Homo-oligomer: A and B are copies of this chain.
Amino acid sequence: MTPRTPAPRSRRERPAKPALTYEGIVETAVRLMEAEGLQRVTMRRLAQELDTGPASLYVYVANTAEPHAAILDELLGSVDLSPTAGEGDGDGDWRDRLTQVLISYTRVLLENSALAHSALVARPSGSNNLALVEAILTLLHEGRVPGPQAAWGVDVLLQTATATAAEHSTRAHAVDSADEHNALVTAVRGASPGTHPRIAALADDLVSGTPEQRLTWIFHSVINGTLTTERPAP
């Protein structure tokens, strides 16, 4: 595509091969993920990218999950937290602004499909995740949600967003997606009113709504639950 690149003198073509350090490994992992997806971020592939053997990486990371978690922490930096401060006025009440933050988070995970699965398991504790938690707590505080409920609610909110992203990520393969959706619709529509009266009665409602509508309702619903559900006395 750019044929006038001069032929390299030595065989070190890469621009200053990244040093074999934890930071260098993570940096390469992020680049690799952006270029080819998380499924390619394997110890062997990573080692290849760093011009070494897989065994060398084990001096810096304990296992494959570690670079994956580091990538996740990195990406959490691109979540849009601006609705927290109520910038650009007219952004709606605290509920709507919290929903905006959660939808931004969901989108970040959705774009990097396989990452959502890591997020569900990894419990990121990096600084970007801390900032996200702080933002959610701030908005719940603005909404006068009692502290103890807010503290447990933030977990549910993030879990819901993460699970939604994880659910959709693997479903994103066009054909399979259609098949699976049809299987669900068929199962629901085929439910006999005799054995499954409630499913039969609500068949339309069960499969209605656009993904956006459902996601917005889900977040509002979980926010309301957090607001109205008292914690048991300790």
A residues at B contact (CB < 8 Å):
117, 120-121, 123, 125, 130-131, 133-134, 137-138, 141, 147-156, 159-160, 162-164, 166-167, 170-171, 180, 183-184, 186-187, 191, 195-199, 201-202, 205-206, 208-209, 213-214, 216-218, 220-226, 228-229, 231-232, 234
CA distance A191 to B126 in the complex (A): 11
CA distance A155 to B147 in the complex (A): 27
| Residue with the highest number of chain B CB atoms closer than 10 Å, among A131, A138, A187 | A187
The contact of A121 among B162, B170, B183, by CB within 8 Å, is: B170
B232 touches A226 (CB 8 A): no
CA distance A225 to B1 in the complex (A): 54
The 3 closest A-B pairs by CB, nearest first: A225-B225, A151-B205, A137-B198
This chain's copy number in the assembly: 2
CA distance A220 to B228 in the complex (A): 10
B156 touches A160 (CB 8 A): yes
Chain B contacts for A125, CB-based, 8 A: 183-184, 186-187
Is chain A's binding surface mostly helix, strand, loop or mixed? helix
Residue of B nearest to A63 (CB): B176
Residue of B nearest to A169 (CB): B121
The contact of A152 among B196, B198, B218, by CB within 8 Å, is: B218
The contact of A232 among B160, B199, B213, by CB within 8 Å, is: B213
Q: Chain B nearest CB: distance from A133 CB in Å?
A: 6
Residue of B nearest to A231 (CB): B217
Residue of B nearest to A186 (CB): B125
A123 touches B180 (CB 8 A): yes
A205 touches B162 (CB 8 A): no
Residue of B nearest to A222 (CB): B225
CA distance A141 to B228 in the complex (A): 20
With contacts A123-B184, A180-B123 known, is A199 near B160, CB below 8 A?
no
A151 touches B225 (CB 8 A): no
Residue of B nearest to A191 (CB): B130
A123-B167, A147-B201, A151-B205 provided; 19 other pairs, C-beta below 8 A?
A120-B120, A121-B170, A123-B180, A125-B186, A133-B199, A134-B199, A148-B202, A152-B205, A152-B209, A152-B217, A152-B221, A155-B214, A155-B218, A156-B222, A162-B163, A217-B229, A217-B232, A222-B225, A225-B225
